[in-house]
């Protein structure tokens, strides 16, 4: 099901820009920068949340700072397409999996994992291979993340 596109105006874009730089920016500070009241900012942000444009705020964990030195992408091949739901459910139970995507192309699933080292990654791969319906995997280890950003609001 495709979600309806939401129209946002220049003020919404400006507010989103401030929140993307720092989600903890006080609404009154944003209001001063935009030249409107804090209540108006609050209403705009609420509208953006209600429409699904903004979805909460969060802290970003530096995985390397807590010992997760290996980031990998694992392409998962299935024995049969009808095993997708079961495989998806089982993969979501592996705590090292931080993203999972149903994809076109050669993989049925593309998953992103964080591991402490290559031995840890090997153990995760063994877990994945134990899932009924997984025929094989292909692993790409990320050497360096060159770009990390939110989509530009235009």
Domains and CATH numbers, the chain: 10-50 (1.10.10.10), 63-142 (3.30.70.920)
Question: pLDDT tens digit string along 93-116?
Answer: 999 999 999 999 999 999 999 999
CB 8 within 8 A of CB 152: no
Q: What share of the chain is helix, strand, coil (3-state, %, to 5)?
A: 40, 20, 40
Pairwise CA distance, residues 33 & 5, whole Å: 27
Whole-number Cα distances in Å, 123 to 35, 45, 98, 117, 154: 55, 43, 16, 10, 43
Cα–Cα distance for residue pair 51/7, rounded to 1 Å: 10
Give the model's pLDDT for residue 2: 54
Q: What is the residue-averaged pLDDT of the chain?
A: 93
Instruction: Give the pTM.
Output: 0.82
For a pLDDT cut of 70, what percent of the chain falls above it? 98
Given this model, what pLDDT does residue 51 score? 92
Sign of CA dihedral 9, 12, 18, 21: negative
Segment 50-75, tens digit of pLDDT: 999 999 888 889 999 999 999 999 99
């Amino acid at each position: 099901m495709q979600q309806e596109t939401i129209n946002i105006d220049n003020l919404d874009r400006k507010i989103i820009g401030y929140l993307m730089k720092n989600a903890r920016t006080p609404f009154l500070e944003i209001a001063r920068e935009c030249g409107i009241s804090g209540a108006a900012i609050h209403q705009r942000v609420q509208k953006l949340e209600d429409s699904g444009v903004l979805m909460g705020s969060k802290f970003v964990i530096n995985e390397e700072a807590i010992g997760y030195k290996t980031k990998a992408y694992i392409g998962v091949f299935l024995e049969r397409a009808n095993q997708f739901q079961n495989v998806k459910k089982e993969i979501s139970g592996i705590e090292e999996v931080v993203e999972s995507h149903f994809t076109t192309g050669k993989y049925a699933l593309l998953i992103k994992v964080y591991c402490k080292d290559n031995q840890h990654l090997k153990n995760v791969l063994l877990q994945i291979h134990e899932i009924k319906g997984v025929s094989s995997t292909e692993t790409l280890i990320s050497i360096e993340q060159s770009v990390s950003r939110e989509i530009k609001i235009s």
